[in-house]
Amino acid sequence: MSLSRFFKDVMNKVFAYSNYELVNTVITLFQLRKLRYWAFREIISSIGDCSGYLLDLGAGNGSMTRFVIRNGLRNRPVILLDPAINGLKSAGDLCPGLVDRVVGVGEYVPLRSGSICTVYTSFALRQFNDKPLALLEVRRVLKRGGSFIVLEFWRPDNPLAHAVLLFYLVFALPLLVSIVAPREVWDYATMRITVRNIGGISWLRELIRDLVGNVVSYRTYLGIFLLIRAIKA
């Protein structure tokens, strides 16, 4: 089984449960709303005079788009793209007529070139099988001047911080998840695989700059959460 198929199956199981939002709140150390608000502000800033669709890449159950809509982004069409059918099904109540759901992967986005105003991804890029290919796809579908916004949980550059993160993922995270959602312990244990097999935060920022466009906004929190916005020239 390929790595991408493995994570697709895992996320289909996760979205079949009702504790998804609670678990994500816990594993982000109760900072989920704050982090989403950072991304929301960048999304609002990005659309400006740009008309057309927004793309939620790796949308899961649409939780980031739901947050964006609830906080004021209305009357803008959004496409939710994700390989996990269960997640997309659970987003079926999101603004019918404005929100479209598409089954697909980030490495092969089934959309026209230059058709998207803003692409945003929330805690999903880490799981893509071929991250450079996914970033090239982001650039392809973006309009000139369009923005790519990444909110992620990523491997720190500092080796000591990385060791602390691995300790958290291997020991503390399973304990926390076992308290709030015992059936999902194994599913979330796969997070340590995604963090162990990627470059550091600086690597990602440079990769986005090289493959998507100029990085105009960058911030980190607790050394492991990051927000990046790049603009396609």
CA distance 89 to 69: 18
Q: What is the pLDDT along the chain (233 residues), one digit of tens a residue?
A: 454 554 445 444 444 444 667 777 877 888 999 999 999 999 999 998 788 899 999 998 899 999 999 998 878 899 999 998 887 877 767 777 788 999 999 999 999 999 999 999 999 998 898 999 999 999 999 999 999 999 998 999 988 888 888 888 888 877 877 777 777 666 666 677 777 778 899 999 999 999 999 999 999 998 899 999 999 98
Predicted confidence at residue 4, as pLDDT, reads 53
Predicted confidence at residue 50, as pLDDT, reads 82
Q: What's the longest Cα–Cα distance across the chain?
A: 48
CA distance 52 to 30: 33
CA distance 63 to 68: 9
Predicted confidence at residue 78, as pLDDT, reads 94
- The CATH code belonging to domain 3-231 is 3.40.50.150
CB-based contact 61:87 (threshold 8 Å): yes
Tokens of 85: 């059918």
Structure letter (DSSP) for residue 111: S
Annotated domain spans of the chain:
3-231
Could you tell me the pTM of the whole model? 0.86
Q: How far apart are the first and last CA of the chain?
A: 38
Structure confidence by residue, pLDDT tens digits, 108-143: 999 999 999 999 999 999 889 899 999 999 999 999
CA distance 140 to 124: 19
Predicted confidence at residue 189, as pLDDT, reads 66
